[in-house]
Amino acid sequence: MLIIGGLVSKTVLFVIPHEDDGEGGGGGSAATWSSQGDRVVFLLCTNGDKGTSDCSMTPKKLAKIRNREQIEAASILGVNEVVFLDYGDGELEDTMELRGKITRQIRIYRPDIVLAIDPFRRKVHQHRDHRVSGMATLDSVFTYAWTSQHFPDQIKDEGLSPHHVREILLWNSENANIILDISDTIGLKIQALSKHVSQIHDMDRMSTNVQERARRIVENYDYEFGEAFRRIVIEKEAHKLGIY
Ligand SMILES: [Zn+2]
């Protein structure tokens, strides 16, 4: 993998608004990393409890189902840990509380790379939880997690220490600047997505759509399938500002 040349193994943290967003955005890359021996962590912001058009379903029941589906999907990708913040679907707010919770996980797992959904989209309206989770993640990485003055109780009472994330990859971006090769893992991505039975009504169509999108992304590359991200190298950005 191209990212962070020289690192034998790395930790990658996905901050995910709803169950199934992580697989759709970066499931192929997650499977590639875990197959290389990297540590992959999924952090789920909401419990997805409103994601249905079935009037007989209750939010409580759906949250349980989606929790189980997420764990099954993550295990197919070889994800090492799945953490649930358990906010209600559609109830994510960009607050100090949310930024503190994301910062805590960054300080616990100490990722080299953080993945999130790109909150800056102009062409297509996106779910509120997507915008909020993306923005809160960017802010948590840069600068809450590395500043000891932010959330000092995590350091004093929980024994955590500040952490610098080296880079961020944003999926669903209108300004993608890096393509990762998922030719070997697209099958696992589709298999993982197929575990989200409550969200997918036509598995064949899902599989075709995922493959078509992944093929379109790599039109000018030698790969068969890819995932596209906006890559932000934090060290460089911070250096420009004189923080490093
Ligand atoms: Zn979503």
- Return the percent helix, strand and coil in the chain, to nearest 5: 40, 20, 40
- Give 17 Cα–ligand 1 centroid separation in angstroms: 6
- Give 43 Cα–ligand 1 centroid separation in angstroms: 13
Cβ contacts of residue 37 below 8 Å, gap of 6+? 9
pLDDT score for 1: 33
pLDDT digits (tens, 9 = 90+) for 125-145: 999 999 999 999 999 999 999
48: left (phi over 0), alpha (psi -120 to 50) or beta: left
Average pLDDT over residues 164-193: 97
pLDDT score for 209: 97
Q: Which two tokens stand for residue 205?
A: 């169509």
Domain annotation for the chain: domains and CATH numbers: 11-238 (3.40.50.10320)
Average pLDDT, the chain: 93
Which of these ranges, 59-63, 71-75, 108-112, 121-125, has the smallest mean pLDDT?
Answer: 121-125
- Asked if residue 119 lies in contact with residue 45, where contact means CB atoms within 8 angstroms, the answer is no
The residue count for the chain: 244
| Residue 96 pLDDT > 60 | yes
**Would you give the DSSP letter of residue 140?**
I
- Give 65 Cα–ligand 1 centroid separation in angstroms: 16
Task: Give the chain's radius of gyration (CA, Å).
Answer: 17
Sheet holding 226-233, edge to edge: 81-87, 39-46, 11-16, 113-117, 167-171, 226-233, 178-181
- Give 182 Cα–ligand 1 centroid separation in angstroms: 22
pLDDT score for 157: 97
pLDDT over 70 percentage in the chain: 93
Q: How confident is the model at residue 32 (pLDDT cuts 50, 70, 90)?
A: very high
Pick from 102, 63, 111: nearest CA to 83: 102
- Give 128 Cα–ligand 1 centroid separation in angstroms: 9
**Torsion, Cα of 6, 75, 201, 180 (10° steps):** 10
| Residue 6 pLDDT > 80 | no
- Give 127 Cα–ligand 1 centroid separation in angstroms: 7
